Each structure stands twice: as structure tokens, then as C-alpha cells.
Amino acid sequence: MPVPTSPRAPADPLAIFGLLKPHFRALDQFLHGQLEQFEPEIRDMVAYCVDTSGKRLRPALVFFSGWQGEDVVPEPLVKLAAVIEMVHLATLVHDDIMDQADLRRGKPAASRAFGPDTAVLLGDALLAQALHIAAGFPTTAVCRYVSLSTRQVCTGEIMQTLARPDTPRDLRYYRRVIELKTAELFHVSCRLGAHLGESGPEFEAAAGTYGRHLGTGYQIYDDLTDFFGDEAKIGKTLGTDLASGKSTLPLLTLLERLGPADAQQLRREMSEGDTRQIGHRVAQMREFGVFEAVQDAIRSEIDSALRAIAPWSTTPTGRLLGQLADLLTHQATSLRKG
């Protein structure tokens, strides 16, 4: 089956985000409006967490999946985007506790700014408020999907941080983790966006499948940038996933291509979070074709995403989702091998 490609690949792959300016403005307004819903005693801390400088990938998926035209900013889509972004923010606040992260979006992580205990509770409050907004829709559909996918995100994170001796460090486990921790929320963003856009149940399901594959591809891409930085990440410390014991696709692929003794040694480095050999390991990834293999895996997910929405490739929303997939292809192929 030939791989469908988006019919109108723009010269500037980031251009499609320009279309979302009014949508993002409405989203920011909505999120800031939400601050008043929080009790005054914690409002400034919530405002600190709800900054709007993120990539807003999930909101973009919501807006494109429910697209109604360039100058139309449907209020239900804004609300849904806010729900999903707020769930995502809550998980970031909790992730930063675990990863003992210093910075988030250029300023001290909430766990550093307010301490880990308060950050646990702030994340909880954000999550509760996200579901409270979700309960403002006329039906329980948004609540049902978002709460389910939140549970799955948490499960994926638990599986990733689980340090039991019997935790399998294999491809199947990796796939399961990223499906839960990333692909599910992408899936729900697209499916519910399409639902609110009233494009019919067939497109809803197709958009959901698109989202799941795009999310998987995005997570693999993100895992690859831990070893091969893109321009935006020059200066970033490489190998933080290795340091925190995450078995990502680049590492698992390298493991498969090493001789038994060296593989054993790398397994030890992974379980101990030992990054002293990181330069050597990245050189091996380069040498043994790991970089290309992981890029292929990303491409394969993007192809599956595009295939899911191929019947809608000439509709406005299908075109936009296609271009968003192209953007990920562009980012993945512009990673510098070294």
C-alpha cells in the first residue's frame, strides 16, 4: 500500500501553527480566566504552573481535528483544549518532582519553586480542575475519555519509573509505556476534537487512530533527541533518559546490535543510570545504524497516522492533520546525526 502524503506540504513546515493564532489566544484567555476559579490562597502558584509558553501540541491536535475554518474559534474546542492542556500541565508538575528537574520552560520547576510536597498537591488541584472543566460539557463524554486517558498516562509513567528487578527492558514493554504515557492523550485530543467538530463517527475513530500513531511517533522522536539534539536543543545535556534509567528505543536498538559482552555492559549502565560512556554510546548508535533505525520507526508511525485519515486527505481538517504529521517528519529528519 503506497504511503499517502499530505497534498500541500508547505515551504515552512511551522506555518500551520500560524493558523492557530486566534485559537491559541482564546486558549490563553480561557486558561487565565480559570485562575479565578482556584481559591485565592493558591492562585499565584497555579498561575506559575499555567504558563502558556509550551508547544501546545495537544491543543493544536484538538483545534485541527475539530477545524471549522480559519476565522472560527469554537468555544467547545477551546474548552476541550484547555482541559487536555491542564491535564498535561498537571502531569508535568508531577514528572518534574520525580525527575528532580531544575527547569521547566525556562524557569524553576514548580517542585523547585514551591517544594515537592506543594507540587504534588498543585498537580492534584490542576488535575481536579481540568476534570471540573470537563464536567461542564453537556454530556459526560469528555470527562469519561479524559479521566481514562489520565489514568493511562499515570500508568505509563509508573511503568517507566518502576525499578523492579522483573521489569522487562524490551521493545514490547517500551511500546506499551509510550502508548500509555503519550499516545493515549494524543488519541483523545484528536478523537474528542473531531467529536466536537461533529464530523461523524467514522472520522472520529480515524482521527483517534491518527492521534495514537502521531503520539507514538512523537514520543520516539523525543526519545531520539536525548542522544541526537536538534538545533533548539544545542547545549542541552544529552543522555538524561539513560541517567534516569529509561529504556528508550535508541538504547534498546543499540542493545540489539552490540555483541553479548558489550550489551551486558550497556545493560548495566542503563540499570545504574551510568552516563560516563555516553559519548561512546552515541558514537556506536551512529556507527551501527541506530539513528536511521529509530528514524524509520518514527516514519512508520507517521505513515500509519496518515493512512488512518487518508480518506479525508482532501478535507480541510484532513489536510491540516496531514501537515502536522509532515511537520513531525521534518523535525525528525532535521535531527543532526553528529
- Which residues here bind a copy of itself, judged by CB under 8 A? 38-39, 41-42, 45, 90-91, 94, 97-98, 115, 117-118, 120-125, 127-129, 131-132, 134-140, 143-144, 147-148, 150-152, 154-155, 157-159, 161-163, 176, 180
One-character DSSP codes across 145-185? HHHHHHHHHHHHHHHHH---TT---SHHHHHHHHIIIIIHH
For the CB of residue 205, give the shortest distance to a copy of itself in the complex, in Å: 20
**CB-wise, 168 or 311, nearer to a copy of itself?**
168
Q: Shortest gap between Cβ of 119 and a copy of itself (angstroms)?
A: 9
- Closest to a copy of itself by CB, 23 vs 246, is 246
Separation between Cα atoms, residue 189 and residue 82, nearest integer Å: 11
Smallest distance, a copy of itself to C-beta of residue 114, A: 9
CB of 31 within 8 A of CB of 50?
yes
- Closest to a copy of itself by CB, 167 or 300: 167
SS3 assignment, position 15? helix
Question: What are residue 108's DSSP bridge partners?
Answer: 103
CB of 111 to a copy of itself, least distance (A): 10
**Whose Cβ is closer to a copy of itself: residue 154's or residue 263's?**
154
Min dist CB 99 to a copy of itself, Å, is 9
Q: Which is nearer to a copy of itself, 154 or 258 (CB)?
A: 154
Quickly list H helices, the chain.
Answer: 15-18, 21-34, 43-49, 57-65, 75-98, 110-114, 116-134, 141-161, 171-178, 184-196, 201-224, 240-243, 249-257, 260-272, 278-287, 290-308, 316-333
Contact 181, 160 (CB under 8 A): yes
Sequence-separated (6 or more) residues with CB below 8 Å from residue 77: 23, 62, 63, 66, 193, 196, 197
**Signed CA dihedral, 57, 58, 61, 62: sign only:** negative
Nearer to a copy of itself, 96 or 223 (CB): 96
Q: Which residue type occupies 225?
A: T
How far is residue 219's CA from residue 180's CA, in Å, rounded to a whole number? 11
Provide, rounded to whole angstroms, the least separation between the CB of residue 208 and a copy of itself: 18
d(CA 124, CA 120): 6
Pick between residue 96 and residue 326 the one whose CB is nearest to a copy of itself: 96
Whole-number minimum distance, CB 308 to a copy of itself, in Å? 24
Shortest reach from residue 192's CB to a copy of itself, in Å: 13
DSSP letter, residue 3: P
Closest CB to a copy of itself among 161 and 315? 161
